[in-house]
Structure 1
């Protein structure tokens, strides 16, 4: 189940990042950051499930950090 979620989120992140790079329109960047955070969180949970605790905890910490950056981007975006 986590593998399917990671694949879907990975595709969403790549598509949104590609959209921003090609069009030079970064309006979808906060959504991409939220998707990236969920992707990293799913990877961390999968690693914890496999017993790789150190990488799992680092991935979860990184996911929370990316989520904080995404929230800050949402709050500071021009209205």
Structure 2
């Protein structure tokens, strides 16, 4: 299940990034940041399952930061 979510969030984030780079239209950058945050959360959960707690906590902190940045971007734009 986590691998499927990992692939879905990766594809969605890369799609938003590619769209922004190809069209020079960065209005969806907040969505890309949000999906990257969700990807970091899934990766953190995977690291916890592998008993690598330091990397797991690091990825959860990165998720929280990206969540904060994306919410701030949604509210300010």
Structure 2: stretches of 5+ with no match in the other structure: none
- Offset at residue 27 of structure 1 (A): 1.2
Residue 65 of structure 1 corresponds to: 65
- Over the aligned positions, Cα root-mean-square deviation in angstroms equals 0.6
- Offset at residue 64 of structure 1 (A): 0.4
- Offset at residue 24 of structure 1 (A): 0.7
Count of residue correspondences: 77
Q: Distance in 2 between matches of 1:54 and 1:3?
A: 20
After TM superposition, the score normalised by the length of structure 1 is 0.94
Residue 11 (structure 1) aligned with residue 11 (structure 2): yes
Q: Distance in 2 between matches of 1:50 and 1:2?
A: 13
User: Where has structure 1 moved over 2 Å in runs of 4 or more?
Assistant: none
After TM superposition, the score normalised by the length of structure 2 is 0.96
Q: Distance in 2 between matches of 1:67 and 1:21?
A: 22
